[in-house]
């Protein structure tokens, strides 16, 4: 062999060796990328990949079972490198998009294309409005009353003095009677200690404390006007809630039978006890409404008779079975909420027609006072329940049912009692503001009270 041909042969071999070494690293990288592509293709629909650190420092997906599927082919090649390199090269583009391995250890960039299952902004907005329709309806009702007060005020074209004050209020209490499950009274009536404590906090202690201690202190400090303080007294005299208190007790795993008992009993007793307490504590401040006898006569016609009719209908087995079904209960609740929203709209229409006169600073002060009252209310009930030796589940029921104040029953009751009074909006404002606050705080306390309900007493 001549020197020239020897040099040519040596150069060709060196070139082949360099080419082999240069191709080895990409082939190994492609093998990893190919395995990832195969795993992504074989992953079941709906399974979520588990992130793991790849061989090149990148983050790549690993199937939930942790197994790495391997696929072999029979494509001929030199030393196996050709078939692996060819097969990996055919999948390189797909694998690179799912498992970038640039060696910096960072996670792959998120896909800019939104998932088809992700709701749009409009869908999320509609979902929020539907979930919070009552609060939104309250704000819309007040806004509409401000913009066109003559439309919904008494004497206006819609005749609310008849459609609202006579028809809708009676319909509201008819629905309340339909929703009262009297069979639950028997289940918890023997729990004397829990019942006495809860009723003391529903009708007794808070009303007395507000009328004799908290109210005078707020007046003396100039925090609230006397009319809003009277509204606080009216709020303290209201019965507990029918639905939300029982729902929160259920979520916190308290004694549901006790909660149902007080939802029924306090709302029935509230027809008589609430007006009596209001006249007792406010006295001359209610003179513009009329005599107690006139108020009781009005309440009998607008409240007691519809409630008794509703309870009588529910006592019929066939009717009671229908009323206990979830779709009918949902429709009754929606109807009840709509009536309350119309009452709020009518009340503020009358108020704006005659001049509102509640400054924003006073509303802020009312919010702060109610926040302190609500937290202190629940803390006092829990402390009293533990001091009285109640079971944990009974104490949870007491915390919810003793501190809740009904808007569904209370607002129509206030309107029926104080219809025509210029102070009506002042009596309604604390109840309107207290309602969403008690739901928000009660929901936030569910996890802690659930732990307490299931814990052993010391």
Question: Does residue 68 register a pLDDT over 50?
Answer: no
| Token digits of residue 138 | 């309250």
User: Can you tell me the mean pLDDT for 366-381?
Assistant: 93
Q: Which of 62-71, 162-171, 375-384 has the lowest mean pLDDT?
A: 62-71
Question: Does residue 87 register a pLDDT over 80?
Answer: no
Distance CA 174, CA 170 (A): 6
Three-state secondary-structure class, residue 61:
strand
Give me the pLDDT at residue 31, please: 55
238 Rama sector, left if φ>0, alpha if ψ -120 to 50, beta otherwise: beta
HEC string of 250-268 equals HHCCCCHHHHHHHHHHHHH
- The better pLDDT of the pair 439, 374 is held by 374
Give me the pLDDT at residue 258, please: 86
Confidence band for 378, pLDDT divided at 50, 70 and 90: very high
Q: Where are the domains of the chain?
A: 3-42+49-98, 129-454
Question: Does residue 114 register a pLDDT over 90?
Answer: no
Question: Does residue 45 register a pLDDT over 70?
Answer: no
Give me the pLDDT at residue 432, please: 86
pTM above 0.95, yes or no: no
Question: Does residue 414 register a pLDDT over 70?
Answer: yes
Give me the pLDDT at residue 337, please: 84
Confidence band for 103, pLDDT divided at 50, 70 and 90: very low
Distance CA 175, CA 309 (A): 10
User: Can you tell me the mean pLDDT for 336-352?
Assistant: 83
Residue ranges of the alpha helices (H) in 210-325?
A: 215-221, 226-237, 244-251, 256-282, 292-299, 305-315, 317-323
Write the burial class of residue 201 (CB in 10 Å: 0-12 exposed, 13-18 middle, 19+ buried).
Answer: buried
Give me the pLDDT at residue 104, please: 42
Confidence band for 184, pLDDT divided at 50, 70 and 90: low
CA-based nearest residue to 142, from 346, 397, 304, 358: 346
- The better pLDDT of the pair 307, 81 is held by 307
User: Can you tell me the mean pLDDT for 405-431?
Assistant: 81
Give me the pLDDT at residue 208, please: 93
Distance CA 218, CA 228 (A): 10
129-454 is classed CATH 2.60.40.1240: no
User: Can you tell me the mean pLDDT for 218-240?
Assistant: 90
CA-based nearest residue to 104, from 146, 61, 54, 150: 54
Chain-wide mean pLDDT for the chain?
75
Question: Does residue 88 register a pLDDT over 60?
Answer: no
């Amino acid at each position: 062999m001549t020197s020239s041909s020897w040099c040519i042969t040596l150069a060709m071999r060196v070139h082949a060796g360099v080419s082999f070494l240069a191709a080895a690293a990409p082939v190994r990288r492609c093998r990893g990328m190919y395995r990832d592509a195969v795993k992504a293709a074989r992953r079941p629909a709906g399974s979520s990949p588990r992130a793991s650190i790849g061989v090149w420092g990148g983050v790549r997906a690993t199937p939930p079972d942790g197994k790495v599927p391997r696929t072999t082919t029979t494509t001929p090649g030199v030393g196996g490198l050709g078939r692996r390199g060819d097969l990996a090269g055919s999948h390189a583009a797909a694998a690179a998009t799912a498992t970038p391995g640039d060696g910096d250890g960072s996670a792959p960039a998120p896909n800019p294309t939104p998932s088809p299952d992700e709701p749009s902004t409009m869908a999320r907005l509609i979902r929020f409005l539907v979930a919070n329709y009552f609060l939104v309806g309250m704000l819309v009702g007040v806004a509409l009353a401000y913009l066109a007060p003559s439309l919904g005020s008494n004497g206006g074209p819609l005749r609310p003095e008849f459609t609202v004050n006579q028809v809708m209020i009676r319909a509201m209490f008819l629905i309340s009677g339909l929703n009262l499950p009297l069979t639950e009274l028997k289940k918890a009536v023997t729990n004397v200690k829990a019942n006495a404590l809860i009723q003391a906090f529903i009708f007794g202690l808070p009303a007395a404390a507000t009328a004799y201690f908290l109210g005078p202190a707020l007046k003396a400090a100039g925090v609230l006007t006397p009319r809003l303080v009277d509204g606080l007294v009216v709020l303290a005299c209201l019965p507990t809630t029918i639905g939300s208190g029982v729902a929160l007790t259920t979520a916190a795993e308290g004694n549901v039978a006790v909660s149902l008992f007080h939802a029924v009993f306090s709302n029935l007793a509230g027809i008589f006890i609430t007006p009596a307490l209001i006249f007792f504590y406010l006295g001359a401040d209610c003179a513009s409404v009329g005599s107690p006898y006139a108020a009781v006569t009005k309440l009998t016609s607008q409240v007691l008779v519809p409630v008794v009719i509703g309870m009588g209908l529910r006592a019929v087995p066939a009717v009671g079975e229908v009323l206990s079904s979830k779709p009918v209960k949902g429709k009754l609740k929606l109807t009840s909420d709509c009536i309350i929203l119309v009452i709020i709209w009518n009340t503020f229409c009358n108020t704006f027609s005659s001049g509102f006169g509640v400054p924003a600073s006073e509303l802020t002060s009312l919010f702060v006072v109610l926040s302190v009252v609500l937290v202190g209310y629940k803390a006092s009930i829990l402390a009293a329940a533990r001091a009285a030796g109640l079971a944990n589940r009974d104490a949870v029921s007491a915390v919810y049912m003793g501190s809740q104040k009904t808007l569904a029953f209370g607002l129509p009751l206030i309107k029926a009692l104080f219809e025509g009074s210029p102070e009506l909006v002042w009596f309604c404002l604390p109840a309107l503001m207290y309602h969403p606050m008690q739901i928000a705080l009660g929901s936030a306390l569910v996890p802690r009270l659930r732990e307490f309900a299931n814990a052993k007493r010391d």
